[in-house]
Structure 1
């Protein structure tokens, strides 16, 4: 299905003349740069950061293209995936008029960005097995529905969303379908980047924050049809990715083999951790995960959470989230960290037994 992206855009975005930075106004190499009012003497740091970074991150996009198998013209690099999420709202959703559809429980920034941009949120909860309610989504869609957000593997549940259900939306929704693949490196399901040529209304979000270990650099990626990428580049801040982040990300992307080893270790540790957690008397259910975390249902999640905090171990309390009642979300750590967690949870059992508490 081909969607008319131009018709989805806000009128002010169609009319927008983007900011033209000094580095946008010439092509090629230069030896003397007197166009951007920079400090020509350098910087007080060992590496000079006195020059503005490449506004379109050409070298970094080329490297990501090689790693991901996606042409550079289909790649947007943002200050975390959150920047791409915000740009989607600013490009396609008229404040106070249009709406988006989310499928809770899901990543919280979709809702936060919608609220910041004054866009109505329609919530269609996942089914009891954490899959899409296609009938519910179809009933929620109206003429003002612009974007559907799907996280797969899903945060906080950890499962992958059925591929055929996502394809059903792509083939029938006359708007943007966003597939957030922040955890795709840990999943058996293949990325939707292979489907970009087939769906011009598909936007895929990925990140270097998870498997690649670069959360501190804030490098998010969006893969989409070139006309959507053009819109993102039109409305983003001119220098949204700093030079240090671009340089360090390029270095990290040279180490694919090391990352693949970490991914295999994380997946193996996830299975070992799940097996050990399942033996604890207060654990009621472990939800199957294709991410680098496990959602665990237990009898007293807040008590367990507080006990772990006192020991300096921080997990995520998701017990107040729809369909995640009674659950903690536990990230898979190093083998040593995982063992320390298990030791602490065994200690929780012992303390409660000594006090005569039922767990």
Structure 2
């Protein structure tokens, strides 16, 4: 069946006209700027580039995608909200999310008054094909959110293309942690699947969580749609400039990424045989999901030693999600857990 975007977009969104900054239609840098009611004084007195042209060009080069297929958000959270608003009619439509997975899909679904269907993962935190096939037969969901590698479980989702190709709606693949894995990005599938949206972020592997920059990749039609909906100046000039500056430092990025991966493997090796540890799940992320015999006690003792972790119990039984820190922080973690194991 041929995919037609207009069959999925909310009618009122289809009729929207984009907000266009008058300034951005001119290329003359010597213009006296008196059109936007800005203060003529100050370091940050001018509005930012509403289309993030330089940033989109940079992401285009990094991901081998055309700039017109890219849209930028104030963090991936904003993009998740915009995508849900673009396609989901409040009080009528629903979205489908993996369970367990990133909580903000369900959160923004509920914020926008959509029903949330849960696609329960199996004991290996994978999607069972038969369960998926059975569920989509009766599902009314317009959107499917696939987080791979998945947060909070840490694993990449197997057979990803199967779920993309068999869902009759918009599929959002969230790759916030893709740089930590050996998986190939779903961005390479964009030309094959016009219903596909891929999300990435600068918050994790790139170490820029404070800049709040999320990146969406899709067809030009979907990218134009989301860009039309977004607030016109959603990413500040300073954040765009800092992101570009940091993205140009490839050597530093690779060095930090390799250190995190090395520390992750070393952490797993040092913790796996501790008496208090029941299981350490395989991770394609910058964290480990660890099952403890007495998770509440471990969580409390770590806090007493000023180590803050993420308690997943009871949603994921007896588990802590523990972020890979710097070598000194990881040593402190191992030291406390070793003491608890004696």
TM-score, structure 2 normalization:
0.96
Whether 1:150 and 2:150 are equivalent positions in the alignment is no
2:232 match: secondary structure:
coil
Displacement of 1:2: 4.8
Alignment of 1:217-232 (within 5 A): 217-232=211-226
User: Which position in structure 2 is the counterpart of 1:83?
Assistant: 78
1:296 match: secondary structure:
strand
Whether 1:92 and 2:87 are equivalent positions in the alignment is yes
Question: 1: CA distance between counterparts of 2:145 and 2:166?
Answer: 15
Which of the residues 39, 48, 72 maps onto 2:67?
72
Displacement of 1:103: 1.0
Alignment of 1:153-192 (within 5 A): 153-162=149-158, 165-192=159-186
User: Which position in structure 2 is the counterpart of 1:356?
Assistant: none
RMSD: 1.3
Which of the residues 319, 333, 339 maps onto 1:347?
339
Instruction: Say if 1:80 and 1:218, in contact at 8 Å, map to a contact too.
Output: yes
Which of the residues 294, 304, 317 maps onto 1:325?
317
Whether 1:58 and 2:49 are equivalent positions in the alignment is no
Whether 1:107 and 2:110 are equivalent positions in the alignment is no
Question: 1: CA distance between counterparts of 2:226 and 2:22?
Answer: 19
TM-score, structure 1 normalization:
0.92
Which of the residues 102, 121, 124 maps onto 1:126?
121
User: Which position in structure 1 is the counterpart of 2:245?
Assistant: 251
Displacement of 1:33: 0.9
- The C-alpha deviation readout for 1:105-142, integer Å capped at 9, x for no partner, is 10000010001000000001111111112332333334
User: Which position in structure 1 is the counterpart of 2:200?
Assistant: 206
Instruction: Say if 1:318 and 1:326, in contact at 8 Å, map to a contact too.
Output: yes
Question: 2: CA distance between counterparts of 1:85 and 1:211?
Answer: 20
Change (3 A) 1:108 1:53: same
Instruction: Say if 1:122 and 1:140, in contact at 8 Å, map to a contact too.
Output: no
Whether 1:10 and 2:10 are equivalent positions in the alignment is yes
Whether 1:288 and 2:282 are equivalent positions in the alignment is yes
In structure 1, list runs of 5 or more residues that go unmatched.
351-359
Whether 1:27 and 2:35 are equivalent positions in the alignment is no
Question: 1: CA distance between counterparts of 2:227 and 2:23?
Answer: 14
Whether 1:268 and 2:262 are equivalent positions in the alignment is yes
- The C-alpha deviation readout for 1:16-68, integer Å capped at 9, x for no partner, is 233343435x2323421111000112x1xxxx210000000001111111122
Question: 2: CA distance between counterparts of 1:143 and 1:105?
Answer: 19
Question: 1: CA distance between counterparts of 2:105 and 2:198?
Answer: 14
Instruction: Say if 1:23 and 1:55, in contact at 8 Å, map to a contact too.
Output: no
After alignment, is 340-349 or 294-303 more displaced?
340-349
User: Which position in structure 1 is the counterpart of 2:330?
Assistant: 338
Instruction: Say if 1:2 and 1:199, in contact at 8 Å, map to a contact too.
Output: no
1:288 match: secondary structure:
coil
1:122 match: secondary structure:
strand
Question: 2: CA distance between counterparts of 1:235 and 1:167?
Answer: 28
Question: 2: CA distance between counterparts of 1:144 and 1:349?
Answer: 49
User: Which position in structure 2 is the counterpart of 1:357?
Assistant: none
Paired positions, count = 340
1:135 match: secondary structure:
helix
Instruction: Say if 2:276 and 2:340, in contact at 8 Å, map to a contact too.
Output: no
- The C-alpha deviation readout for 1:237-256, integer Å capped at 9, x for no partner, is 01010011001000001011
1:147 match: secondary structure:
strand
Question: 2: CA distance between counterparts of 1:23 and 1:308?
Answer: 53
